[in-house]
């Protein structure tokens, strides 16, 4: 069950048609779906706002310009900020792209977007739907995960620090302060952080701030406002960190979110009303049924 209200289940539409089906969750929230899994693969994409997913592999921010592939059987929790809309596409477990083994970032091209939206909106003959589903799966392509994933520590003391910083990225407490908070020496805390995340504490905090900033930019906030909210004293320092981590400026990500991922890639994209340039799309309200996504 959702921890915030009763959002619609993030389960596939019933009955599921053939091997690929999609549903649109229009802007609403905030919503949270606790850890759960499906007997089908799931692709989260088309995020309009702040959409995050947590699995055993890490903490993922799903930006407008990418999708997140979650294999069948993988436990995941999903959270979205108020005003966030997104799409879920479900693929039968017996359909196996090369990258089905673990949670993976995928590129959602304008062609794939239009195809998925069209399949959700239009009735099709069985042979046409089969061919469309096969094409959709063939268009899935794994990409670099780094813009999306933040490794999470498993040690309970470190996990409490990480969760606090994700809840409040503007928290400026030093490693010394956190050591006192969790009763661990600075030396041991530093060693544990590097061992569990592959980063120093300072590096991890920068990556956390930048990934959270992606979602805030997608919600339409200015670069200056976002820089302050995630703990930077000046926009220039924020821009420098953002570019170093993701290879693009905050302005680029903000524009991509504002126009939709497909528009950023020179194509059409579904808008906030669930429509794409190719035609209307069906959507699912969030008050239909409680429980998992």
Please tell me which residue, 137 or 17, carries the higher pLDDT value: 137
Neighbour tally for 234: CB within 10 Å: 11
Please determine, for residue 155, whether its predicted confidence score (pLDDT) is greater than 80.
yes
Mapped onto helix, strand or coil, the DSSP state of residue 150 is strand
Mapped onto helix, strand or coil, the DSSP state of residue 278 is coil
Co-location of 142 and 90 in the same domain: yes
Q: How confident is the model at residue 286 (pLDDT cuts 50, 70, 90)?
A: very low
Co-location of 135 and 163 in the same domain: no
Is the separation of the CB atoms in 119 and 133 below 8 Å?
yes
Q: What is the pLDDT of residue 248?
A: 84
Q: pLDDT, tens digit, for every residue of 23-41?
A: 999 988 788 899 999 999 9
Q: From residue 179, how far is each of 39, 93, 173, 201, 235 by CA, in Å?
A: 42, 45, 10, 11, 29
Instruction: Supply the DSSP symbol for 65.
Output: T
Please state, in angstroms and rounded to a whole number, the distance separating the CA atoms of residues 199 and 219.
28
**Of 112, 107, 84, 88, the residue nearest 272 (C-alpha):** 84
**Encoded tokens for 214:** 């992606």
Is the separation of the CB atoms in 61 and 37 below 8 Å?
no
Please state, in angstroms and rounded to a whole number, the distance separating the CA atoms of residues 217 and 175.
28
Mapped onto helix, strand or coil, the DSSP state of residue 25 is strand
Co-location of 33 and 142 in the same domain: yes
Q: pLDDT, tens digit, for every residue of 187-225?
A: 999 999 999 999 999 999 999 999 888 878 877 789 999
Mean pLDDT calculated for residue range 99-113: 85
The rounded Cα 210 to chain-centroid distance in angstroms is 14
Co-location of 17 and 125 in the same domain: yes
53-59 contacts at long range (C-beta below 8 A, 24 or more positions apart): 53/77, 53/78, 53/79, 53/103, 54/79, 54/152, 55/103, 57/102, 57/103, 57/149, 58/149, 58/150, 58/151, 58/152, 59/149, 59/150, 59/151, 59/152, 59/166, 59/211
Q: Element (H or E) spanning 34, and its range?
A: strand 31-36
How much of the chain exceeds pLDDT 70, in percent?
Answer: 79
Instruction: Residue 191: give the domain boundaries.
Output: 151-257
Domain count, the chain: 2
Domain CATH code at residue 159: 1.10.10.60
Co-location of 15 and 106 in the same domain: yes
Helix axes 201-218, 186-197, angle to 10 degrees: 60
Mapped onto helix, strand or coil, the DSSP state of residue 32 is strand
Co-location of 72 and 169 in the same domain: no
- Tell me the H-state helices in 220-271: 223-229, 235-246, 250-259, 261-264
Most confident of 95-104, 144-153, 159-168: 159-168
Residue at token pair 């194509």: 267
Co-location of 136 and 186 in the same domain: no
Co-location of 166 and 143 in the same domain: no
**Encoded tokens for 245:** 């981590």
Domain CATH code at residue 36: 2.60.120.10
Please determine, for residue 1, whether its predicted confidence score (pLDDT) is greater than 70.
no
Mean pLDDT calculated for residue range 145-162: 87
Query: Average pLDDT over the chain, rounded to whole?
Result: 80
Q: What is the pLDDT of residue 10?
A: 67
């Amino acid at each position: 069950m959702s921890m915030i209200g009763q959002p619609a289940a993030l389960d596939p539409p019933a009955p599921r048609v053939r091997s690929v089906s999609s549903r649109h969750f229009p802007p609403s929230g905030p919503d949270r779906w606790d850890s759960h899994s499906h007997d089908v693969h799931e692709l989260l994409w088309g995020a309009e706002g702040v959409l995050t997913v947590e699995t055993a592999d890490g903490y993922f921010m799903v930006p407008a310009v990418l999708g997140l592939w979650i294999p069948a059987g993988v436990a995941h929790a999903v959270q979205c900020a108020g005003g966030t809309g997104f799409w879920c596409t479900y693929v039968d477990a017996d359909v196996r792209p090369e990258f089905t083994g673990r949670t993976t970032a995928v590129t959602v091209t304008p062609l794939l977007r239009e195809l998925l939206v069209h399949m959700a909106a239009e009735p099709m003959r069985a042979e046409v739907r089969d061919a469309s589903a096969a094409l959709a799966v063939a268009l899935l392509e794994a990409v670099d995960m780094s813009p999306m994933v933040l490794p999470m520590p498993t040690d309970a003391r470190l996990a409490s620090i990480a969760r606090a910083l994700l809840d409040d990225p503007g928290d400026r407490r030093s490693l010394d302060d956190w050591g006192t908070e969790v009763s661990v020496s600075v030396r041991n805390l530093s060693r544990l952080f590097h061992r569990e995340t592959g980063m120093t504490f300072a590096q991890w905090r920068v990556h956390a701030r930048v990934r959270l900033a992606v979602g805030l930019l997608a919600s339409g906030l200015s670069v200056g406002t976002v820089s302050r909210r995630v703990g930077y004293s000046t926009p220039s320092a924020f821009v420098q960190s953002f570019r170093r981590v993701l290879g693009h400026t905050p302005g680029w990500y903000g524009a991509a979110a504002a126009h939709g991922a497909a528009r950023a890639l020179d194509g059409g994209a579904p808008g906030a009303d669930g429509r794409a340039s190719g035609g209307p799309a069906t959507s699912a309200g969030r008050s239909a049924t409680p429980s998992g996504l």
